[in-house]
Structure 1
Amino acid sequence: MTALPRKALPLAFALALASGAAQADAYPNDTEGFHGYMRASAGSSSRHGPLSCYALGGPTAYYRLGNECDSNAEFGYTKELAKADNGVSFVGTLWVNAYAPASDFRGAKLELLKGYVEAKGLPFLNGGTAWVGKRYYYRPDIHMLDMQYINMNGTGGGLDKIPLGAGKFSYAVFKDNDTNATGAGGAIVNTPSALRQNLLYQDLPVNPGGTIDAALTIVTAGGRNRSAGAPVQGQGDHGHDGWAIGLFHHQKVLGGTNMAGFQYGSGPGTGIGVCCVRMGPAGSTALGSDVTRVRLLEDLVIQPTRRFSMEFAAVYQKDKADDVALRNTWTTLGVRPVYALLPNLKLQGELGVSALKQESTGQTARLTKLTLAPAISLGESYWSRPELRLFVSYGKWNGAATPLVNASNNGGPVYGNATSGTSAGLQVEAWW
């Protein structure tokens, strides 16, 4: 398999900035009513075992069409609880989910995803919102990668979308990893907890049809005695602060949207130590300022005709650290074209090429994934869901990627020392 062309990513980013960028929020917000999301797959592989998937794992994301070996269902309800005489609306939201790494929801347990109350339309906030509880919070994604490149979910409170100048300002505070480890006699010997502050300035017009969002994360570690300036007993090298910034340009283009972004993080602000290459939440507070992450993103979704749509994604991410095990460079390019043969019948494909250079091994792992997936769909739009899919996926990788593909496959190391494989099955994806 060939390596990613060195000039491909800079060219992609230049084109994105020239033509503009922005991704529509495909998922419903917490508006009045019952909402949810579900995905599930069933199938097998060329080794006749469990359904297999192809990814490099670690500090990377995966191309998800016909390539998700887990199951997830999340759903809930939003309801106005009360309304003040001056029109301020108090709204409550509760969501639960059931997730399993297998394809049949085996062992999945219900967990609370969201439980929070908002006060909307506050006059002293110029119509802004105040909220407290556990919630999803500013988590845009590159859909075809299932990559929430920034994710500020958590338990806390804040002020949302207060008109300020030409844009809107939001501030929230969260407590992440809010646990302690105890030793003999109940003494606290370790804590990964951190106080996280998130500041957002959104929807700032910068050109016709184009806006910018700016995000700042400030992580304050809880793992040391602030008054003494020393670590908690037994804490070791834990207790580092961190920060992250992000700039995201959104542009309406060709009947769709496009996003071009830049992110930089330091220490726990890199997000390293939490799920799925997310930045925005507090990562491991064991990481010092020597650990940094820089990321460039491009995500283009277009619908130039009623029947044809497409998503294109490109990511460059570089992690630096004194610890060689944390030094990685991940690059990826992918495309998903979709053609609606009939109002409820789509033919879609997805091609993704990824490379992960690991300085700890001195090798570059490479993976290509190709999927064909006809689907019965709600409509002709790229974002029309539900979709019921029949898929065939082919993966090819080099020897350096073999242990990574085996480790990240939910079905286990089904391909052994092989460097290619095929999987096929059925998949449903729905949101409402």
Structure 2
Amino acid sequence: MKHKQTPNFLLKPGYVLAAMLVSAPALAVDFHGYMRSGVGATAGGGDQACFQAAGAPAKYRLGNECETYAEIGLGQEVWKEGDKSFYVDSMIAYNSRQANDYEATRTDTNGGANHPFDEGGDVAIRQFNVVGHNLIESLPGADIWAGKRYYKRHDVHINDYYYWDVSGPGAGIEDIDLGFAKASIAWIRNTDGDYVYQGSGTGTNIANDTLDIRLAEIDVNPNGKLEIGYDYGKANLTDEQERDPGYTDQKGHLITLEHTQGDWFGGYNKLALQYGTDGI
């Protein structure tokens, strides 16, 4: 006589949720991102050497990137009713040192910029935000967003140099149709460790707030558009930091005018003018 056993399973709530997700119909997820990988050697032997002039804020890119860097973005529209919707976007970045085929991740709150080129890699959350589209009936087409994101960055790509970039965690409303332009306003906060107490000499983090206001897509000539921006940045110091005798008022302004000319000999041309004060 054969005895048939029925296996018993004990599922914790988290595993039950995972099982439900696996059994649910697959949802289309938007995939986007960026990846580069370079490997080389020097004439005198050893690893590839990437050159950057002392004090320069950027380096040239092609043939001068000595790491594997990837940004993997996943997004999903999670709710939609008529013209209204919510969209969740995310991006995880990885940077390796090209040391070997197996490089473990490491934890670094500064993003790995100051690490020597040793074994290991860095993982960072570059974007994680929610965007609400058409939620305000009086502002059709406008988006409300909150979270961490790349915010309307402007760069010289071959230099990998961002001359207008206030990306980070924050909130805002963008692409408000004014008829002659699209208006956007955002509040962004970033934290650094540049502040040093005069009394003790120990460093501490500073919360930096930036108010960003822009008018974009202003038609000024055939195939030419103008973007105007104003940024006000201020250190949001704690009471203890403000009582420090070495404290100086840390705030600044940045004004940007950028003209983009399309259909320019088969491509486009950008001309940007900026004026800024200390502190931003």
TM-score normalised per structure 1: 0.49
Counterpart pick for 1:262 among 254, 258, 273: 273
Structure 2 CA distance for aligned equivalents of residues 41 and 211 of structure 1: 36
The aligned counterpart of 2:177 is 163
Structure 2 CA distance for aligned equivalents of residues 172 and 78 of structure 1: 21
Report 1:221-260 matches (<5 A): 221-223=235-237, 225=239, 232-234=242-244, 236-252=246-262, 253-260=264-271
The aligned counterpart of 2:74 is 77
Runs of 4+ more than 6 Å apart: 178-183
Structure 2 CA distance for aligned equivalents of residues 112 and 245 of structure 1: 29
Kindly provide the amino acid, as one letter, of the partner of residue 61 in structure 2. R
Q: Is 1:190–1:235's contact at 8 Å kept on the other side of the alignment?
A: no
Deviations 1:42-93 (A, max 9, x none): 1101121210122214243222111112331111211101013x42110000
RMSD, matched Cα: 2.6
Structure 2 CA distance for aligned equivalents of residues 173 and 164 of structure 1: 20
Q: Is 2:226–2:258's contact at 8 Å kept on the other side of the alignment?
A: yes
SS state at 2:39 partner: strand
Q: CA deviation at 1:209?
A: 0.3
Deviations 1:125-176 (A, max 9, x none): 2220000000111112211111122112110000011111311000000111
Q: CA deviation at 1:180?
A: 11
**What number of residue pairs does the alignment pair up?**
229
Query: Where does structure 2 lack aligned partners over 5 or more consecutive residues?
Result: 1-28, 104-118
Closer/same/farther in 2, CA of residues 224 and 111 from structure 1, 3 Å limit: closer
The aligned counterpart of 2:46 is 49
Deviations 1:217-240 (A, max 9, x none): 101211264xxxx95233723541
Structure 1 CA distance for aligned equivalents of residues 158 and 251 of structure 2: 32
Q: Is 2:39–2:67's contact at 8 Å kept on the other side of the alignment?
A: no
Identity %: 30
Deviations 1:391-412 (A, max 9, x none): xxxxxxxxxxxxxxxxxxxxxx
2:38 is the alignment partner of 1:58 = no
The aligned counterpart of 2:34 is 37
Q: Is 1:244–1:266's contact at 8 Å kept on the other side of the alignment?
A: yes
Greater relative contact order structure (CA < 8 Å, 6+ sep): 1
Structure 2 CA distance for aligned equivalents of residues 115 and 235 of structure 1: 38
Report 1:158-197 matches (<5 A): 158-177=172-191, 190-197=204-211
Larger Rg: 2
Q: CA deviation at 1:109?
A: 3.1
SS state at 1:56 partner: coil
SS state at 1:45 partner: coil
The aligned counterpart of 2:126 is 113
Q: Is 2:166–2:210's contact at 8 Å kept on the other side of the alignment?
A: no
Greater alpha carbon shift after TM alignment, 211-220 vs 106-115: 106-115
Closer/same/farther in 2, CA of residues 101 and 147 from structure 1, 3 Å limit: farther
Structure 2 CA distance for aligned equivalents of residues 108 and 255 of structure 1: 40
Closer/same/farther in 2, CA of residues 71 and 57 from structure 1, 3 Å limit: farther
Structure 1 CA distance for aligned equivalents of residues 245 and 130 of structure 2: 36
Kindly provide the amino acid, as one letter, of the partner of residue 110 in structure 1. V
Structure 2 CA distance for aligned equivalents of residues 126 and 43 of structure 1: 52
Closer/same/farther in 2, CA of residues 59 and 239 from structure 1, 3 Å limit: farther
The aligned counterpart of 1:87 is 83
SS state at 1:144 partner: helix
Deviations 1:97-146 (A, max 9, x none): 11135566641132211110000123222220000000111112211111
TM-score normalised per structure 2: 0.74
Kindly provide the amino acid, as one letter, of the partner of residue 248 in structure 1. E
Closer/same/farther in 2, CA of residues 189 and 107 from structure 1, 3 Å limit: closer
The aligned counterpart of 1:430 is none
The aligned counterpart of 1:326 is none
